[in-house]
Amino acid sequence: MLPLNNNQVAGAPAVNVVASSAAPKGASPYAKVIDMLTVFATKWYWFVICLALGLGGAYVYLQITPPIYTRSASILIKNDFQTGSGSSGGMSMNVFGGSVDVQNELFTLRSSDIAETTVRNLHLEVNYYAQGRFHEEAIYGTALPVQIIPLDINDQESAGFMFDLKSDGTYTMDHFVRGGKKLSGSIMGKVGRTVKTPIGKVEVNKTVNYTPQELSLRIDRTAIQTAVNKITDGLNVSAVSEMSTIIKLTYDDESPQRAEDVLSTLIAVYNENWVKDCNRRSVSTSEFIGERLEVIEKELGNVENDISNFKSENLIPAGQSDVASIYIGQATSASAQSTEISNQLHMARYVRNYLTNDANKYTLIPANQGVNSPNISGQIAEYNSLLLTRNNLLSASSLANPIIQEKDLQLAELRNALIASVDNHIASLNVELSSAQAIRGQANSKIASSPSQSKYLLNVERQQKVKESLYLYLLQKREENELSQAFTAYNNRVINSATGSNIPTFPVPSMVWMIGALLGIVVPGLLIFLSESMNNKVRGRKDLNEISIPFIGEIPIHRHHRTLREKLVEPWKNLRDRLKVMLRLGEVEEDKSLHILVKDHSRNVINEAFRVIRTNIEFMMAKGARGKVIMLTSFNPNSGKTFVVTNLITSFAIKKQRVLAIDLDLRKASLSMMVDKPKIGISDYLSGVTDSFDDIVVRDATHEYLDIVPVGTVPPNPTELLFDDRLGKFAQPVLIHYFGLSSY
C-alpha cells in the first residue's frame, strides 16, 4: 500500500514513508528453527501423505522381496597337523599378524573347485520356484517332491521350463527355453521316467519327500559356473580372531535348508580333498617300496639259485657249513655290519639321486625310505608338509602369487639343506663301511687257508642274508604305509554344524519400516525446507525485520470451513497449480468469490487486523486532509488484492468515512463483483463512451458510505486506457469527496 499526499491525484508519483534509520538485526538461529518448525506444522498434511507413502512402499517392498536366511558353521583347524621344526614349519606368522596356515585354509574353503564339487553333489544348478502371492518362492529339500535333471544340457548352457505335477503322478512340461531362446512344445510324462523334450532328455525322479499332490513349478537350470559364482558370492569364510585357528563359515540363501546343505557339503568336500592330499605321500611311498621289492625279490631269487646250484655241483649237504672257527664268526659279524651299512648307503644314494633330479622338484619325497637318520627323516617330513601347503595354495591361485613364490624359495632352501645332510650321511656311512670292511679283511686273511668252496658259500650266503633282511624291511614298511593310509584323520574338527535363525536376515522388517518412516518424514521436510529457502515471498512481519520499509500491519490467512474431502484434495490441488505454473500447462483456477469478513460490532482476529491497518493508515496520512488515495497492486495473481481491498474499504465505511473503491483490474474485474459487475464503468469512461461521473459510480447496497467504480465493459486494450489523460481528470472530483482505494 502506498499512501499519497492530500494534494496528489491518482496516477501521480507516490511518496514513500521514511523508515527508521537503524534496521533491526536478523533473527537468531533459535528463532529460525522455531519458524521452520511452524512452517512444518502448517504443512502437516504433506508429512502424513509422505509417511503413508513411505510405509506403503515399505510394505510393498517387504512383500515383493524374497527373504534371505543366513546359516553359519565353525570348524577348528588342528594344530597337530602343523609339522616340522625350524622357521618354515609350524604356526608361522604372516605380515598381517595371522597364521599363514589358517589363511591358506580360508582361501581353500573359498576356492571355486570346492564350490563346483558342492554344486554337482547337490545339483544346485537346477532351481525350483513356486509362484507365491507377491513373488516366487524357492522350493528345496523337504518341500520338493521330485528331482528334475536335464541330461542333454552341457555345463555352459542354461535352460528352463514350466512343470505342472498332478496328484496321480503325471506331469506336464511346457514353455521351454534353452540358451535364451523360446522353444515350442508341451510334454506329458509320469514321475520316475525319462522323457524327451525340446531341450533334450529330462529325468524326473521321486524324492524321499514325495507325496501325491498338485504342484506348479518353474524350473531354472543355470550354467555350472553361474551356480558356482552364486555359492562363492553368498559364502563368507573368516577366522574368529587373528590368533585363533577357528574358522567361521556363513552362507546366505533363500532356502534355509539349502544353506545348511551347502555348508555341510563344503566342509565334507574340504575334508575329502585333505585326505586325498595326505594320501598322495602314502601313494608315492607305496610305489617306491613296490618297485624296490620287485628288484630285491628278483636278486634274492638269483642268489638262492646260485647257492643251490653250487651245493649241487660240489655235493655239499644242505644246511651244513664249513666255517666253524672264531675268525669266521668275526668275519660274519663284520660282513653283517658291512651289509647293513651298504643298505643304508644304497638308500641314501637313492634319496640323493631323487633330490637332485629336476623332474622330482615339486613331487613328494618318499617317506620311510630306510635312511637311518632322524635329522634327515625330520627334514623330509618338513619338506613334504611345506610342498603340500604350496600345492594346495597353487590349486586356487597362480605362480605369480607372492605366497607361492615365498614357498618356492623355502622349498629350494630346504631341498639344498636336505642334499647337504644326505651328503654328510653318505660320507659317514662310507667311513663306517671302510672300517667294517677292514675288520672283515683281517678275518678273511686269517681264514685264507679255508677251502675255496667255503669261501664262495660264505660270500653267497652273505648276499642272501643281505637281500632277505632288505626284503623283510621293505615288506614291513609297506604294511606300515598301508595302515597310515587307511587311518588318515581330518585336519579339522566341526565345532558348530550348520545352523541359524528362522528369522530372515534380509530384508529386516524393522529396518525397512524405519527407513520407510524416515523417508516419509525426511523427504517432505527436506523439500519444504528447500522450498522455503528459495521462497522470496513475504510471509510475515519477521521476513521484513532486516529490510528498512514501512510496515502497516499483517492479516491472518482466512480459510473457510472445509470438509474432510476438501482438506484431503487441497494438497494435490496446490501441487497441480504449482506444476501448471512451472510447466506452463495452463492457467491456475482462481477463487473469484468475495470473502468480506469485516463486520460491524465484530471482534474476531481478521476484523481486528483490518482495524489496525486502518488506524495505521490514518496515522500515516495528514490530519484534516482530504482526497487521500491508496493503490493496491501485486506481481502475481491470487495474491489477495481483492480480499484486502473489499475488507479494508468495508472497515473505513463502518467508521462512516466516505470511501470510493475503483476497480482498475480491467482484465478480471474482481472488485466489481461487489456491485454485480454493471455494464458501465471506468473502462467506458476512459474509452469515451460516457463523460458523466455519476454514471459510473455505484453505491454499495450494504454500506451508505461506500461507493464503487466497477470496470464495466472489459476492454481489449486495458494498458492503453490506463495511460490515457482521462484517468487524471477523473481523479480530481474523487479527491474532493472521497478517501479513495484502487485495486490494480
C-alpha 265/C-alpha 122 separation (Å) is: 8
C-alpha 164/C-alpha 213 separation (Å) is: 10
C-alpha 655/C-alpha 649 separation (Å) is: 10
Looking at residue 172, what is its pLDDT? Answer: 95
- C-alpha grid cell, residue 543: 521476513
C-alpha 276/C-alpha 283 separation (Å) is: 10
Can you give the pTM of this predicted structure? 0.56
Looking at residue 468, what is its pLDDT? Answer: 82
C-alpha 651/C-alpha 565 separation (Å) is: 34
Looking at residue 560, what is its pLDDT? Answer: 62
Report the candidate in 646, 552, 668, 660 with the shortest Cα–Cα distance to residue 599.
646
Contact present, 737 and 693 (Cβ < 8 Å): no
- Give the torsion through C-alpha atoms of 507, 510, 512, 517, to 10 deg: 180
C-alpha 535/C-alpha 309 separation (Å) is: 123
Looking at residue 328, what is its pLDDT? Answer: 67
Contact present, 664 and 641 (Cβ < 8 Å): no
C-alpha 598/C-alpha 643 separation (Å) is: 11
Looking at residue 7, what is its pLDDT? Answer: 33
C-alpha 403/C-alpha 393 separation (Å) is: 8
Looking at residue 203, what is its pLDDT? Answer: 94
Contact present, 275 and 490 (Cβ < 8 Å): yes
Q: Cell 585326505 belongs to which residue?
A: 275
Looking at residue 438, what is its pLDDT? Answer: 84
Contact present, 352 and 422 (Cβ < 8 Å): yes
Contact present, 72 and 249 (Cβ < 8 Å): yes
Q: Quick: pLDDT tens for 513-546.
A: 999 999 999 999 999 899 888 877 777 777 777 7
Contact present, 492 and 76 (Cβ < 8 Å): yes
Looking at residue 210, what is its pLDDT? Answer: 92
278 CB neighbour count, 10 Å cutoff: 19
Residue type, 263: L
**Distance spanning both ends of the chain, measured CA to CA:** 11
Q: Quick: pLDDT tens for 190-207.
A: 999 999 999 999 999 999
Contact present, 471 and 297 (Cβ < 8 Å): yes
Q: Give average pLDDT by consecutive 10-residue segment, the chain, 744 residues.
A: 32 32 52 82 89 94 93 86 38 37 87 94 94 90 93 93 94 94 93 93 93 93 94 93 89 94 94 81 78 82 76 55 54 80 81 79 72 78 81 78 82 84 84 82 61 67 81 82 68 87 90 94 92 77 74 77 68 72 60 78 86 86 67 78 89 88 86 86 87 84 87 86 79 55 53
- Give the torsion through C-alpha atoms of 103, 109, 113, 115, to 10 deg: -150
Report the candidate in 240, 249, 206, 7 with the shortest Cα–Cα distance to residue 118.
249
Side-chain-side CA neighbours of 538 within 13 Å: the count stands at 17
Phi-psi region of 656 (alpha: psi -120 to 50; beta: other; left: phi over 0): left
Looking at residue 21, what is its pLDDT? Answer: 35
Which alpha helices (H) appear in 447-563, and where do they start and end? 452-486, 509-534
From the number of C-beta atoms within 10 Å of its C-beta (0-12, 13-18, 19+), residue 555 rates as middle
Residue type, 652: F
162 CB neighbour count, 10 Å cutoff: 15
